[in-house]
Homo-oligomer: A and B are copies of this chain.
Amino acid sequence: MAVYTEVPEDALLAFVGAYDIGEVLSFKGIAEGVENTNYFLHTSAGSYILTLYEKRVREDDLPFFLGLMEHLSTRGIVCPLPVRDRAGRALSRLAGRPAMIATFLDGLSIRRPSARHCGALGTALAQLHEAGRDFGMRRENALSLPAWAPLYAQAHGRADEVSRGLSGRIEAALDALARDWPRDLPEGVIHADLFTDNVFFIGERVSGLIDFYFACNDRLAYDLAICLNAWCFEPDGSYNVTKGRALIAGYARARPLERAEIEALPVLARGAALRFLLTRLVDWLNVPPGALVRPKDPLEYDRKLAFHMGVARASDYGYDT
């Protein structure tokens, strides 16, 4: 949520000149995207987002992300569509960074979603999974089970500084997940970071999905578990089963869940909570001097993990048999 890279105007004009999108009329850094720098770009041809990829995104992964957005767009998913320059390239360079121009999406991020928003999000997530089925590229999930113990190793000496007993809770979850993590579930392309700031609504209709820079191949139901974590807890930390029911039912309307996926939901939700707990914990303990972004609270996910550790059945999330 910051502008990390400034773009001199002559470099901007030269860059945009390689595309068939008219004359630059406006260019403003926007507070969107934690990993990258995003600019609102208005030209005589329309509105766009110009993204500069900062060092947290691996350059080798960009063809997967851009190819995925292009694939999903052609399958009717509303997501940023990379614009190709006159030479046919979607990915270029600007101000020393890999850079992309994509279409601008209307809509608002909803910080406090209602059950109806959750239902619409569930359907949009399932549609994303269906549309990704025939995407030709693959990317492993760099933040799944094998990554969690090494992530924890970066933080474990200091975890208890953040909250008493946190290291014990993380270790217990790591052990349980190493044992229980499901293996034979339907896989495909998942978004893997579909938090409320990455979903746009107009009214109660999903108008766009953004920020595909964690997308990867993994268990589809794991994406649903990430959304249960991100969308169905109240600010006071309580789980809202009405929202969970709407999210799961919304999902199942567009892609019916298999029995094994339903049974795995509590374990997947624990894994999702642990993944965000660990990455937030590492960020929390490693705020660089002069950082322009405040780290997110890891303990929000400590509390969510504790909730999931006590859940035995998908029905506790609102799944109706």
Contacts and interface: CB of A to CB of B under 8 A. Distances in A.
Interface in A1-25: 1-3, 6, 8-10, 12, 23-25
B30 A28 contact: yes
A49 to B, nearest CB: 9
A65 interface: no
A23 to B, nearest CB: 8
A107 B31 contact: no
Interface string A281-298: 000000000101010000
Contacts of A28: 30-32, 40
Nearest to A40: B40
A257 interface: no
Interface residues of A, number: 35
A1 B1 contact: no
A320 to B, nearest CB: 29
Contacts of A24: 108
B112 A9 contact: yes
A65 to B, nearest CB: 21
Nearest to A202: B25
Interface string A174-212: 000000000000000000000000001010000000000
A98 to B, nearest CB: 20
B27 A108 contact: yes
Contact of A26 (B26, B108, B110, B112): B108
Interface string A68-107: 0000000000000000000000000000000000001111
Nearest to A112: B8
A56 interface: no
Contacts of A32: 28-29
A290 B8 CA distance: 27
A243 interface: no
Nearest to A201: B9
Interface in A279-321: 290, 292, 294
B27 A30 contact: no
Interface in A116-169: none
Contacts of A27: 108
A96 to B, nearest CB: 16
Interface string A15-58: 00000000111111111100000001010000100000000000
Contacts of A25: 106-107, 202
A109 interface: yes
7 contacts: A1-B3, A2-B292, A8-B111, A9-B109, A10-B112, A26-B105, A28-B32
Given A9-B109, A24-B108, 10 more contacts: A1-B3, A25-B107, A28-B31, A28-B40, A29-B31, A30-B30, A40-B40, A42-B47, A42-B106, A290-B294
A-B interface, 9 closest residue pairs, ranked by CB to CB distance from nearest: A29-B31, A25-B106, A3-B31, A28-B30, A26-B106, A30-B30, A9-B110, A9-B108, A27-B108
